[in-house]
Structure 1
Amino acid sequence: MTDHVFIAGPASWNRIALLDRLPEPVPHMQFALGDWETVGGTSAGKALGLAGLGRRAVLHTLLGSDEAGERVRALLTAAGVELIATDGGRTERHLNLMTPAGERVSLYLATPDDRDDDPPREVVDAMTDAAAIVLDLAPLSRRLIPSARVTGRPIWTDIHDYDGEADFHRPFIEAADAIFMNADRIGDDPLPFMERCIEGGASLVVCTLGAEGAVAVDERMSRHHVAAEPVEVLDTNGAGDAFMAGVLDATLAGSPLPDALRAGARHAASVLTTRHLHPNLDALLGA
């Protein structure tokens, strides 16, 4: 076994438009506060975070041979991420409408073709050798669940704003040792759902709470809370991915859960100060 982390899921090329408020659903004109292009995708964010922390990160994703795909490949590689990119025909592209408060509407301009093939040998080998496997929400990752479970390596997943009902998320929840989420759609109190996940076999469930930090439930049903690090926020994009990357890296280094949560909060704070998924992209794309 090596010390690398295997991540499977989306990487994209995004144009961000910063608005003072999200558009109302009526015809109108609105001026942007600014706009820029950058690497996107929840799995790209985690891979960038782990690489930035000095941990070897192997990212399996779908990319096209188009200009957007070449940009994503070049930037992720330059930032230290190792890629296993399957041909998706075209690269995922988004137009993200953002507000300074972190509200977002994502318009998908292009999505890759998912051909439902068996995983390449190098993907299976990378999972088998990994210290941990991260499976993000995507058909590509969902097909890897049986192979990931066979390895016996710890599986981490991020179910984002899960509402407690959507069927697509359930195989990830059932397979995962560690589950990360946010509280946007789970109801007033995420703890009952988190505890049900522990009862179902998970050893760790973490829910991020924005400016209020995060709450975690461990395998003994003990609750832990970590405060958000004080920082002047430039952009909230990718903060949740950075938090999970920080917790995972610290956990693999042997830190107890309270320390790992604090490491996640520190790493998330570093991403809040950049308009890219990770500060390492600032030098490559411009701050």
Structure 2
Amino acid sequence: MQFALGDVHTLGGTSAGKALHLADLGVATTLHALLGADPDGDHVRAALGRAGVLLESYNSERTERHANLMTPAGERVSLYLATPSPATADTIDRVEAALAAAELAVVDLSEVGAAIVERRLAGAAGAPIWTDLHDYDGAATFHEPFLRAADVVFMNDDATDDAWALMQSCLDRGPRLAVCTLGTRGAIALGADGSRASVPAEPADVVDTNGAGDAFFAGFLAASLSGAEVDGCLAAGARQAVTALSSEHLHPAVAAR
């Protein structure tokens, strides 16, 4: 038996984390998500709205919920308590149409995301896809279509002893750029042309590590949209990660709710 040192009930989810930080950085962003007509869905809508995130929600029988068990060092086990009901074909069509009209599409690992990337691999047109593979080990089959459909891929080094080799294996499947976060050791990037870049982690008073990777992704993406080179994008990602690390929420804007 273990006793928790504390707990917090807050907005979660990798897509919400990215959208919150992109909105904070002034990037015009719309989050597409399956939400239930339930109290949790109402809380999600309210928190995103207060933080200035534009939301396009689609009906689900329930809202996704999970419990993260954290160690003081930031290690995490995520237990899914509820997952959205399967999206209808009409929902997939609407999401795909929205992404086709966007400048860039961030497609996260999910059943809806899987349907989108499968259509892309089958020849559907659309905006360049950036995707976050999280703790990808180089072999997981669920990640494979996301990887092959993506222009840029992000990951962390939790499941590898050789981040450079992992990134190269990703690039061999088609992306032009791979980025890997290394926790307190910073982050690295590898281009399809063989170019390498790295950045140290920014100093931070760590309150909670949840959402730091999403904040890094958003900082990197915002800098890229502004025309920064890879080195500058890595530095911007590292700076934005501090915003998440310094809050018990995905972004401090959520605390107001």
Matches of 1:119 and 1:91 in 2, distance apart?
A: 16
Say whether the 8 Å CA contact 1:198–1:221 is kept in structure 2. Answer: no
Partner of 2:157: 183
- Give a deviation string over 1:2-28, Cα, whole Å, max 9, x none: xxxxxxxxxxxxxxxxxxxxxxxxxx2
- Give a deviation string over 1:139-169, Cα, whole Å, max 9, x none: 1111112555633421100110011221110
SS in structure 2 of the partner of residue 263 of structure 1: helix
Match of 1:172 among 121, 146, 151: 146
Partner of 1:161: 135
Match of 1:278 among 237, 251, 254: 251
Matches of 1:126 and 1:138 in 2, distance apart?
A: 17
Match of 2:179 among 206, 209, 212: 206
Matches of 1:113 and 1:101 in 2, distance apart?
A: 34
Say whether the 8 Å CA contact 1:182–1:208 is kept in structure 2. Answer: yes
Structure 2 unaligned spans of 5+: none
- Superposition pairs for residues 11-50 of structure 1, below 5 Å? 28=1, 30-50=2-22
- Give a deviation string over 1:17-41, Cα, whole Å, max 9, x none: xxxxxxxxxxx2x222111110000
Matches of 1:202 and 1:109 in 2, distance apart?
A: 33
Pairwise CA RMSD: 1.5
Q: State whether structure 2 residue 2 is matched by structure 1 residue 69.
A: no
Matches of 1:225 and 1:73 in 2, distance apart?
A: 37
Matches of 1:69 and 1:152 in 2, distance apart?
A: 29
Say whether the 8 Å CA contact 1:127–1:151 is kept in structure 2. Answer: no
Say whether the 8 Å CA contact 1:61–1:86 is kept in structure 2. Answer: yes
The structure with more helix, counted as a fraction of residues:
2
Match of 1:269 among 232, 235, 242: 242
Q: CA deviation at 1:116?
A: 4.5
- The answer to which of 275-284 and 244-253 deviates more is 275-284
Partner of 2:199: 226
Partner of 1:243: 216
- The answer to which of 208-217 and 190-199 deviates more is 190-199
Q: Could you state the TM-score of these two structures normalised by the residue count of structure 2?
A: 0.94
Structure 1 unaligned spans of 5+: 1-27
Q: CA deviation at 1:62?
A: 1.0
Say whether the 8 Å CA contact 2:137–2:166 is kept in structure 1. Answer: no
SS in structure 1 of the partner of residue 241 of structure 2: helix
Say whether the 8 Å CA contact 1:205–1:218 is kept in structure 2. Answer: yes
SS in structure 1 of the partner of residue 8 of structure 2: strand
Q: Could you state the TM-score of these two structures normalised by the residue count of structure 1?
A: 0.85
Q: CA deviation at 1:57?
A: 1.3
